[in-house]
A = this chain, B = another copy of it.
Amino acid sequence: MQRVSFRDMNCSVAQALEVVGEWWSLLVVRDALLGVTRFDDFHRRLGISRNVLNDRLGRLVAEGVLEKVVYQHHPPRYDYVLTEKGRDLWEVLDAMRRWGDRWAAPPAGPPMELVHRRCGHRTTPTLHCGECGEVLRHGDVRLVHGPGADDRSPQLRDSPVGSGAEGRR
């Protein structure tokens, strides 16, 4: 597949993708999280070919990230709706958004911001340890092999994230 540039989109997620890979599928999920459900709307917003979009949507449906919901029977027409598995990608998209904001935002500031419905503030989510509650930063954590590790898992090396010191359980 030919590489497409996301550079000209004013979207931090797209900026992150410009740096780290081709990823129409995640932009489809991004738009689905923004409430888009119709083929023609994805097509108009993403500006990709109908073939590529059709391929990506079909794959996301096959993977259980999106599901097709009939909204018209004759002829059949579908909404593409995120499943729980799909909605759960919001943390990935949001991590990309935050990274893009820090490293590729326009001079005026981030193009998109998150509002916490309950407290009402524009907010930047922070990662905390699920055990002690402290804020987690790179260097505060290391990776170890979990119960599902096998010889196809990434090998561990000494590193800021990742240390083989503990080995496997």
B89 and A20 form a contact (CB under 8 A): yes
Question: Interface SS of chain A: helix, strand, loop or mixed?
Answer: loop
Residues of chain B within 8 A (CB-CB) of A145 are 111-113
Q: How far is the CA of A35 from the CA of B147 in the complex (A)?
A: 22
A127 and B91 form a contact (CB under 8 A): yes
B161 and A90 form a contact (CB under 8 A): yes
**Highest count of chain B CB atoms <10 Å: which of A21, A106, A112, A128:** A21
A160 and B33 form a contact (CB under 8 A): yes
User: Which residues of A from 103 to 138 have beta carbons under 8 Å from B?
Assistant: 103, 105-119, 121-132, 134, 136, 138
Q: A33-B159, A114-B142 are in contact. Are A130 and B123 (CB under 8 A)?
A: yes
B96 and A92 form a contact (CB under 8 A): yes
Task: Mark A residues whose CB is within 8 Å of B.
Answer: 1-3, 8-11, 16, 19-26, 29-31, 33-36, 45, 60, 63, 65, 85, 87-92, 94-96, 98-99, 102-103, 105-119, 121-132, 134, 136, 138, 140-150, 152-162, 166
Enumerate 15 A-B pairs (CB-CB under 8 Å) in ascending A order. A8-B152, A35-B159, A36-B157, A88-B102, A91-B99, A91-B138, A94-B95, A94-B127, A95-B95, A114-B144, A115-B166, A116-B134, A117-B140, A118-B140, A125-B141
